[in-house]
């Protein structure tokens, strides 16, 4: 049933395995520590792409809540009128709420009385999720015309308006802008996302709306907070850090559409939002600088703060604004770390967070080896470096000009490498760090993903991608004395039609539910099963297959080498918990054949026969999880026996295994 492209995925391995004459052996020296494992190796990278925050993690349910998504019409809103009532709605820029929210929605009701009603309804991000016995916080700003004073009904209704799932009344509306808040509580409803949020009246007159908001319960019940189910998926990964806010989203197409952190803080009614022209949709900036930091705090992640480095993707370097951009970055660091005696630390306290955040890493820009960025990066990096180090000497600075491009006058502490490649090519990429000069800056693999080539590439990674990722990660783990951080990208995708701008993405969702891809589960089991000491290991008789990368670029992040190459179909690494003596052996069988492997462990007094294993496997490379089949491929934990200083185990085809071996 698989197309030719799929057979090519890891299919070369079978021939190689048949050709292998002796059983492959993994030799592990438990007493020979090759390096210290980086506790920061596994983290997250995030930006506004694929409806990651709006329509994703940020729990706001109203799309186009400030009526700025489109300046011609109130997109995603429609008029509700029934029972013979009549009215109209339109965008209005007269008498706006404030200088940030310059457009409001004007509802004119020409005919309504008794049971008739006229109102406005919002479709949500591909639906409003209705769940039983749930409290939703609705709020909006309104201003009434001379002949109107309410009341207004606020409700969550079915899309055909026949069912009201929850409703509340606002009795009176005044002629001045004012915020109104109600709680909408559902009863024993059947969960559905075929729902709208609506505000209507049965009285004639005119009323204007601004900043219309609806929140379900959020993680930690934080106001303006995050969606619970997606936060749970992230919490389960125990990520060490969050790289934000991008990615291309940080840079924007032009200086004006960069992530300008100063307009993303303060009350949401004071945030103008901005066009995310990197990914072509409006960003509410509800997920602003403080919300990113609170997200870090809630999951105990270190913030890895990427600052705008005076370069945007279409307009190029803004070196004439370099001083302003450097000052913005220094101010931003003060907002994050400053105490309340500082200007920006005081602003953070005013915004609701008195305690400064810990910050260790600041990244200067994004992918500055690409486009024309490389030509000015040295100048720009030097300016940021000197200003930031002068004020914050302990901060570690990350350069985005990749480890293959190091012509910088100021030596960065860390270099950010990005790889989007076919699974085999990504697996191969990992080996380069075995020979990386340890005297050079540390490495942050700030973006990576295995991407099965078209036409088999899917919205979220399939098992074949997960195998490529796992093979790559065994290399990063082996070299994590120098590769200190890694993060998959992109992290999120709203799986609805039109929700995706970039394929593939780690976690998928719609309005109602979310799921982890096989690659998500690989990261999860790798991160939950790593320890402090990297062990020396050696593979003997490891079967190989020939792989020829496609000619040309492997996506943004670098060209793939065109030469045919021999790649192992078994990838592995071993770490040891110095305290308990437990050895964690990770084995990735990327081939289409079950593979018996001899494991030899030296440098221990004894190995317990009983151990444990966590494994992910499937029938074929295209096996995957989807919104309708979210747990098709998940890790399975089981007890194992027969372990010792020398034992043979069979690793099933297309599998990722972590063996927990108790040694003394
Ligand atoms: O992850 C998607 C994009 O890929 C990022 O925004 C950018 O940094 C890279 O090119």
Ligand 1, closest atom to CA 502? 2
Distance of CA 184 to the CA centre of its chain: 30
**Superfamily for the 42-59+219-226+233-513 domain:** Glycosidases (3.20.20.80)
Q: Bridge partners of 156?
A: 166, 197
On the question of pLDDT at 533 being above 90, the answer is: yes
pLDDT (0 to 100) of residue 548: 84
pLDDT (0 to 100) of residue 50: 98
- Ligand 1 midpoint to CA 47 (Å): 9
Mean pLDDT along residues 397-424: 90
Residue closest via CA to ligand 1's atom 8 equals 247
Taking only the tens place, the pLDDT of each residue in 98-151 is 999 999 999 999 999 999 999 999 999 999 999 999 999 999 999 999 999 999
Taking only the tens place, the pLDDT of each residue in 162-191 is 999 999 999 999 999 999 999 999 999 999
Mean pLDDT along residues 416-434: 95
pLDDT (0 to 100) of residue 556: 46
> Which of 31-40, 244-253, 563-572 comes out lowest in average pLDDT?
563-572
Mean pLDDT along residues 408-437: 95
pLDDT (0 to 100) of residue 372: 87
**CA-CA distance, 374 to 370, in Å (whole number)?**
6
Which tokens is 337 given?
């770390």
Residue closest via CA to ligand 1's atom 2 equals 490
Task: Map out the domains of the chain as residue ranges.
Answer: 4-37+534-661, 42-59+219-226+233-513, 77-215
The per-residue DSSP string of 158-191 comes to ETTS--EEEEEEE----SS-EEEEEEEE--SPPP
- Ligand 1 midpoint to CA 293 (Å): 21
CB-based contact 102:95 (threshold 8 Å): no
Helix H or strand E segment including 380: helix 373-391
**CA-CA distance, 596 to 585, in Å (whole number)?**
15
pLDDT (0 to 100) of residue 315: 95
- Ligand 1 midpoint to CA 335 (Å): 26
The per-residue DSSP string of 519-532 comes to HHHHHHHHHHT--S
pLDDT category at 19 given cuts 50, 70, 90 is very low
pLDDT (0 to 100) of residue 514: 98
pLDDT category at 17 given cuts 50, 70, 90 is very low
Residues with CB under 6 A from ligand 1: 47, 246-248, 366-367, 447, 489-490, 502, 556
CB-based contact 333:363 (threshold 8 Å): no
- Ligand 1 midpoint to CA 123 (Å): 29
Taking only the tens place, the pLDDT of each residue in 185-220 is 999 999 999 999 999 999 999 999 999 999 999 999
pLDDT (0 to 100) of residue 369: 86
- Ligand 1 midpoint to CA 248 (Å): 6
Taking only the tens place, the pLDDT of each residue in 51-84 is 999 999 999 999 999 999 999 999 999 999 999 9
Residue closest via CA to ligand 1's atom 7 equals 247
**Which of 365, 180, 352, 373 lies closest to 266, judged by CA?**
352
Residue closest via CA to ligand 1's atom 10 equals 556
* CATH, domain 4-37+534-661, list 3.30.465.10, 3.10.20.600, 3.30.1490.190, 2.60.40.1180: 2.60.40.1180
On the question of pLDDT at 554 being above 60, the answer is: no
pLDDT (0 to 100) of residue 558: 53
On the question of pLDDT at 262 being above 80, the answer is: yes
Taking only the tens place, the pLDDT of each residue in 489-499 is 999 999 999 99
- Ligand 1 midpoint to CA 270 (Å): 29
On the question of pLDDT at 297 being above 80, the answer is: yes
DSSP category for residue 559: B
pLDDT (0 to 100) of residue 559: 54
- Ligand 1 midpoint to CA 45 (Å): 10
Q: What percent of the chain has pLDDT over 90?
A: 91
pLDDT category at 664 given cuts 50, 70, 90 is confident
Taking only the tens place, the pLDDT of each residue in 136-160 is 999 999 999 999 999 999 999 999 9
Which tokens is 616 given?
């992910």
- Ligand 1 midpoint to CA 482 (Å): 23
Distance of CA 523 to the CA centre of its chain: 13
**CA-CA distance, 154 to 416, in Å (whole number)?**
48
On the question of pLDDT at 2 being above 80, the answer is: no
Best residue among 502, 504, 557, 559 to mutate for probing ligand 1, ranked by most atoms within 8 Å of CB? 502
Residue closest via CA to ligand 1's atom 5 equals 247
On the question of pLDDT at 561 being above 90, the answer is: no
- Ligand 1 midpoint to CA 568 (Å): 29
DSSP category for residue 93: -
CB-based contact 68:101 (threshold 8 Å): yes
- Ligand 1 midpoint to CA 250 (Å): 10
Which is higher by pLDDT, 462 or 549? Answer: 462
Q: Three-state SS for 256? A: helix
Range 298-323 burial, b when 16+ CB lie within 10 A, else e: bbebbbbbbbbbbbbbeebbbeeebe
Best residue among 251, 447, 448, 487 to mutate for probing ligand 1, ranked by most atoms within 8 Å of CB? 447
pLDDT (0 to 100) of residue 488: 98
Q: What are phi and psi of 596, to 5 degrees?
A: -75, 135
How deeply is 14 buried, as exposed, middle or buried, from its count of CB atoms within 10 A (0-12, 13-18, 19+)?
Answer: middle
Ligand 1, closest atom to CA 490? 1
Best residue among 366, 449, 492, 503 to mutate for probing ligand 1, ranked by most atoms within 8 Å of CB? 366
pLDDT (0 to 100) of residue 549: 76
pLDDT category at 86 given cuts 50, 70, 90 is very high
Fold adopted by 77-215 = Jelly Rolls (2.60.120)
Range 27-50 burial, b when 16+ CB lie within 10 A, else e: bbbbeebbbebbebbbbbbbbbbb
**Which of 383, 459, 474, 388 lies closest to 428, judged by CA?**
474
On the question of pLDDT at 7 being above 60, the answer is: no
On the question of pLDDT at 469 being above 50, the answer is: yes
Mean pLDDT along residues 584-598: 97
């Amino acid at each position: 049933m698989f197309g030719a492209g799929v057979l090519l995925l890891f299919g070369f391995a079978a021939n190689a395995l048949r050709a292998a004459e002796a059983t492959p052996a993994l030799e592990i020296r438990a007493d020979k520590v090759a390096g210290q494992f980086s506790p920061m190796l596994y983290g997250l990278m995030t930006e506004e792409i694929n409806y990651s925050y709006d329509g994703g993690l940020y729990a706001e349910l109203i799309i186009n809540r400030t009526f700025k998504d489109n300046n011609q019409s109130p997109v995603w809103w429609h008029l509700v009128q029934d029972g013979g009532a009549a009215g109209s709605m339109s965008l209005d820029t007269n008498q706006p709420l404030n200088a940030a929210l310059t457009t409001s929605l004007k509802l004119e009701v020409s005919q309504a009385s008794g049971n008739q009603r006229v109102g406005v309804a919002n479709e949500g991000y591909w639906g409003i999720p209705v769940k039983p016995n749930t409290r939703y916080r609705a709020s909006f700003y309104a201003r009434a015309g001379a002949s109107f004073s309410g009341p207004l009904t606020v409700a969550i209704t079915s899309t055909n308006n026949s069912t009201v799932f929850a409703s509340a009344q606002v009795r009176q509306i005044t002629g001045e802008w004012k915020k109104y808040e109600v709680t909408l509580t559902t009863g024993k409803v059947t969960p559905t996302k075929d729902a709208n949020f609506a505000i209507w009246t049965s009285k004639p007159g005119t009323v204007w709306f601004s900043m219309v908001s609806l929140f379900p319960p959020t993680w930690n019940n934080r106001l303006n907070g995050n969606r619970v189910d997606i936060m749970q998926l992230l919490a389960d990964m125990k990520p060490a850090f969050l790289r934000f806010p991008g990615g291309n989203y940080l840079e924007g197409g032009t200086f004006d559409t960069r992530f300008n952190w100063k307009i993303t803080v303060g009350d949401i009614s004071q945030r103008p939002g901005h066009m995310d022209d990197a990914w072509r949709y409006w960003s509410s900036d509800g997920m602003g600088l403080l919300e990113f930091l609170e997200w870090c705090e809630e999951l105990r992640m270190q913030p890895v703060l990427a600052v705008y480095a005076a370069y945007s993707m279409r307009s190029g370097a803004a070196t004439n604004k370099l001083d302003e951009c450097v000052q913005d970055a220094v101010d931003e660091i003060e907002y994050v770390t400053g105490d309340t005696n500082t200007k920006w630390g005081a602003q953070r306290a005013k915004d609701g967070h008195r305690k400064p955040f810990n910050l260790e890493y600041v990244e200067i820009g994004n992918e500055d080896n690409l486009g024309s960025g490389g030509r000015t990066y040295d100048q720009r990096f030097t300016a940021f470096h000197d200003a930031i180090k002068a004020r914050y000497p302990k901060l570690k600075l990350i350069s985005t000009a990749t480890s293959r491009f190091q012509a910088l006058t100021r030596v960065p502490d860390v270099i950010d490498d990005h790889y989007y490649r076919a699974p085999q090519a990504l697996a191969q990429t990992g080996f380069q760090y075995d020979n990386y000069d340890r005297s050079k800056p540390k490495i942050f693999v700030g973006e990576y993903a295995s991407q099965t080539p078209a036409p088999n590439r899917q919205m979220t990674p399939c098992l074949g991608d997960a195998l490529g990722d796992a093979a790559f990660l065994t290399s990063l783990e082996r070299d994590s004395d120098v590769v200190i951080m890694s993060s998959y990208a992109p992290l999120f995708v709203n799986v609805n039609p039109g929700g995706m701008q970039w394929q593939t993405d780690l976690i998928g969702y719609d309005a109602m539910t979310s799921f982890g891809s096989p690659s998500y589960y690989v990261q999860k089991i790798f991160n939950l099963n790593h320890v402090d000491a990297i062990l020396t290991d050696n593979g003997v008789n490891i079967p190989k297959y020939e792989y020829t990368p496609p000619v040309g670029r492997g996506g943004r992040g670098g060209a793939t080498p065109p030469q045919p190459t021999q790649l192992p179909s078994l990838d592995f690494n071993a770490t040891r918990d110095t305290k308990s003596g437990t050895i964690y052996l990770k084995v990735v069988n990327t081939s289409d054949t079950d593979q018996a492997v001899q494991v030899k462990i030296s440098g221990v007094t004894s190995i317990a026969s009983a151990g444990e294993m966590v494994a992910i496997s499937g029938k074929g490379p295209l096996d995957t999880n989807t919104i309708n089949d979210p747990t098709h491929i998940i890790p399975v934990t089981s007890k194992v026996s027969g372990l010792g200083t020398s034992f043979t185990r069979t690793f099933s085809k297309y599998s990722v295994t972590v063996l927990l071996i108790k040694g003394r």
